[in-house]
Amino acid sequence: MNLSDSGQESSDEKAFTIPKQTKDLRACQLCGFILTQEQWNKNSQCLNGCSADYTKIFTGVICVMKPSKSWVVKKLGNQRNIHPGLYAIDVQAD
């Protein structure tokens, strides 16, 4: 019996994206989305469409699986349609 589906989330959720490693993490200065330096270099901008820069100065990390259902996302002042992944709780601008 195979209980797992193809790995696809329900259509209202975007793909879950997390840093590939714990070194060289950078957080988006606007939404706090965390990726590695290498991953940021591959993306021209934040997956949430922020035009902000990223910073290595941040504290606290939360994992958001379903932004549309997360009260933490709401508390941090982020949009409910943000990308699932790791988010910094407090981000300092460089």
C-beta closer to Zn ion: residue 8 or 73: 73
Distance CA(27)–CA(69), nearest Å, equals 22
- Interaction with Zn ion in 49-68: which residues (CB under 5 A)? 50
- Scan residues 1-40 and list those touching Zn ion (CB under 5 A): 28, 30-31, 33
Q: Are 16 and 65 in contact (CB under 8 A)?
A: yes
CB distance 81 to 49 below 8 Å: no
Nearer to Zn ion, 3 or 26 (CB): 26
Residue 91 is a binding residue for Zn ion (CB under 5 A) = no
**CA 56, CA 72: separation in Å to the nearest integer?**
22
Kindly state the smallest distance separating residue 22's Cβ from Zn ion, in Å: 20
| C-alpha–C-alpha distance, residues 69 and 82, integer Å | 11
Looking at the DSSP bridge assignments, the partners of residue 59 are: 90
Of 27, 39, 48, 58, the one binding Zn ion by CB under 5 A: 48
Residues near Zn ion, by CB under 5 A: 28, 30-31, 33, 46, 48, 50
